[in-house]
């Protein structure tokens, strides 16, 4: 590939020779115009260098908004519906309103930095009070970063400017969990709710909401007292999706106790009564948690029941997902090894568990060292050591 500088009128232009197409037609690209021949020659050197290093891209009038829509269309067949919904949300609310009009080839780090600064002052788009959180801005940054990686591969821009900008750091939020008293208080109020079994499973197994709503009776082994997580339920744009766990660790077996087995049996009897009552209207999906006519339960409906129950009992107001954190915290405080907790939660490695629940570990360390001291009678040895030390001091004085 080569190129040259040519003059038209009062302007100088760079002409890049790109060879011939499949039909043998000569391919050229023009860039300019430049006011001086020297400026055009410098641009020619830059263009040829980009060609040789694979960084050459053709100027395009495509805007960020147009590109992101194409990118979302491209991702539709590659990611889960819930993931696509998350991508679309950030694109629609956090990116396009601010830089959607910018040509993708003209996007600069300064523009991105201003985007993140403006978002920190912008009201939340979900109607809740407050401004956009740093965590949401980070997610928007990650979405745009992935999209621009594709833009580079498509030859729409020579570089990913996200790599030149640092998004705001998310503020660490204190985890909200219940203690045993809170758990018992809630369950005593919730036992008449039709979703009682969902709350019990969340507290006693640490399963995620989607995993509980996607749990089938065929996944419950009553004889071995095991629940196998094989899928989760996702609800996107009015449609249910049953999806396999994202990772191999997410597909796991979780041990359950005899009281949970009993609660599941009682729930199954009630479910059978609903089946008989609904008759031909019943659409059995084989799910542990179903509606009165056998259809999947919307996560929003479960949340509605959850928050309604919170208003009826004297417990801290936490999210449904915090029951998962409560499960892990209670196990760790009982001295259960973090590796076991990690396996029950489906974490990829124990490091994630230790990092997530690091607030529990200092107390566990104190308890552990107290138990060790008691085990080897350290206090008796220390008293003897002090006594002998004091005797030596008194002997030196005399």
pLDDT tens figures, 95-142: 999 999 999 988 999 999 999 999 999 988 877 788 899 999 999 999
Predicted confidence (pLDDT) per residue in 190-235, tens digit: 998 999 999 999 999 999 999 999 999 999 999 999 999 999 999 8
Cβ atoms < 10 Å from Cβ of 4:
12
Residue pair 116/137 in contact (Cβ under 8 Å)? The answer is yes
Q: What is the mean pLDDT of each run of 10 residues along the chain (398 residues)?
A: 85 82 72 87 83 64 93 91 92 95 92 94 83 92 94 82 91 84 95 94 96 97 96 89 89 95 95 94 95 95 96 94 95 90 93 84 64 61 63 58
What are the backbone angles phi and psi of residue 343, rounded to the nearest 5°?
-65, -40
The superfamily CATH assigns to domain 180-355 is Intergrase catalytic core (1.10.443.10)
- Phi, then psi, of 269 in degrees rounded to 5: -65, -45
Contact 245, 292 (CB under 8 A): no
Q: What is the CATH number of domain 64-164?
A: 1.10.150.130
Count CB-CB contacts under 10 A for residue 59: 12
Q: What is the reported pTM?
A: 0.71
């Amino acid at each position: 590939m080569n190129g040259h500088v040519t003059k038209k009128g009062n302007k100088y232009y760079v002409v890049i020779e790109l060879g011939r197409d499949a039909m043998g037609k000569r391919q050229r690209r023009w860039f300019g115009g430049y006011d001086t021949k020297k400026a055009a020659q410098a641009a020619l050197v830059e263009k040829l260098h980009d060609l040789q290093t694979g960084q050459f891209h053709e100027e395009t009038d495509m805007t960020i908004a147009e590109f992101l829509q194409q990118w979302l269309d491209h991702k539709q067949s590659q990611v889960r519906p819930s993931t696509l919904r998350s991508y679309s949300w950030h694109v629609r609310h956090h990116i396009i309103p601010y830089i959607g009009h910018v040509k993708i080839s003209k996007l600069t780090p300064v523009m991105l930095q201003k985007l993140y600064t403006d978002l920190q002052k912008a009201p939340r788009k979900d109607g809740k009070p407050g401004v956009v959180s740093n965590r949401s801005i980070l997610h928007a940054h990650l979405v745009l970063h992935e999209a621009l990686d594709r833009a580079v591969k498509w030859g729409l821009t020579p570089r990913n400017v996200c790599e030149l900008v640092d998004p705001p750091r998310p503020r660490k939020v204190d985890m909200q969990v219940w203690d045993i008293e809170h758990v018992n208080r809630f369950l005593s109020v919730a036992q008449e709710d039709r979703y009682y079994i969902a709350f019990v499973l969340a507290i006693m197994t640490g399963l995620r909401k989607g995993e509980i709503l996607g749990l089938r009776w065929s996944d419950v082994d009553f004889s071995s007292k095991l629940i196998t997580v094989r899928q989760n339920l996702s609800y996107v744009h009015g449609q249910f999706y049953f999806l396999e766990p994202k990772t191999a660790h997410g597909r796991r077996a979780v041990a359950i106790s005899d009281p949970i087995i009993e609660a599941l049996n009682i729930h199954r009897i009630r479910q059978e009564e609903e089946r008989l009552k609904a008759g031909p209207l019943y659409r059995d999906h084989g799910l542990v948690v179903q509606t009165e006519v056998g259809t999947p339960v919307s996560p929003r409906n479960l949340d509605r029941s959850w928050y309604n129950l919170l208003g009826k009992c004297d417990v801290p107001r936490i999210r449904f997902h915090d029951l998962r954190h409560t499960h892990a915290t209670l196990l760790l405080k009982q001295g259960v090894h973090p590796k076991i907790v990690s396996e029950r939660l489906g974490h990829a490695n124990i490091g994630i568990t230790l990092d997530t629940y690091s607030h529990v570990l200092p107390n566990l360390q104190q308890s552990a060292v107290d138990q060790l001291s008691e085990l080897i009678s350290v206090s008796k040895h220390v008293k003897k050591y002090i006594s002998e030390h004091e005797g030596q001091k008194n002997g030196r004085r005399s």
